[in-house]
Amino acid sequence: MRRGLYDQSMRPHPKDSIARAVQLYGEDEVVQWAVALLSGQPAGDDLDIRLLGGSPGWTEYWSRVWGARAFLYVWDDWAAPAVIDGLGDEHWRVREMCAKICRRRELSEGSSALVELAGDAVERVRLSAYQAIGDICEADSAAPLLSASFESLREADEAAAALRRMEQRLDRQLG
């Protein structure tokens, strides 16, 4: 019996799957797949979604999430516009992941979209936006971190921590 790339009883971590994809296809090809997936385009017949940490047959938006998540482990600057566009995705999981990517890849060009996401209806998206704002944005993006009202103690704590990081990074008091 021929075995596939993965033993279904033990799914590899996305980092390992993506490293395997890079080994098999090259970094440029994997980045192209991820951009295509994040942008909602077909990624081609060669792509086994499991190589990006996904699973076949899931709801369509998951492909966008998996495409974005790949950028935690593989990157090229030409992918930045797709990530910035993903901050406005209709599904919250994509917005959350793109905020994480902005933070990881220091995509400050997403600042205005991150400020908007700080008011998102989904707390996980707001938390990711706060973290990104605190780590990569300039002082003119601090307003969401200075808000007097948050929906939860966790949210208030995360915003306060992000504000402290921003103040330390910018070497100035903002609040």
The reply to whether 4 falls in a domain is: no
Place of tokens 């704002």: 133
| Least confidently predicted of 49-58, 93-102, 151-160 | 49-58
Do both 108 and 164 map to the same domain? yes
Work out how many domains the chain is built from and give that number: 2
Residue 25 lies in a domain: yes
Same domain, 60 and 90: no
- Are 70 and 89 within one domain? no
Average pLDDT over residues 136-159: 94
Q: Of 20 and 6, which is predicted with more confidence?
A: 20
On whether the CB atoms of residues 98 and 68 are closer than 8 A, the answer is yes
1 is a domain residue: no
Q: In the listed set 58, 75, 92, which residue is the last one of a domain according to the structure?
A: 75
Contact call for residues 173 and 141 (beta carbons, < 8 A): no
Which whole-number Å values give the CA distances from 136 to 18, 60, 107, 140, in the listed order? 25, 30, 7, 12
User: Domain ends where: 20, 46, 75?
Assistant: 75
Residue 45 confidence (pLDDT): 66
- The whole-angstrom separation of Cα 30 and Cα 99 is 20
Instruction: Answer whether 0.85 is exceeded by the pTM.
Output: yes
Q: Give 24-36 pLDDT, tens digit per residue.
A: 999 999 999 999 9
pLDDT of residue 162: 97
Rounded-to-integer distance, Cα 87 and Cα 150, Å: 21
pLDDT in tens, 89-114: 999 999 999 999 999 999 999 999 99
Residue 3: inside a domain: no
* Residues spanned by the domain of 29: 11-75
Query: In whole angstroms, what is the distance from residue 84 CA to residue 134 CA?
Result: 17
Can you give the CATH number for the domain in which 94 is found?
A: 1.25.10.10
Q: Are residues 126 and 161 in the same domain?
A: yes
The pLDDT mean for the chain works out to: 90
Instruction: Return the pLDDT at 6.
Output: 45
| Residues 70, 87 within the same domain | no
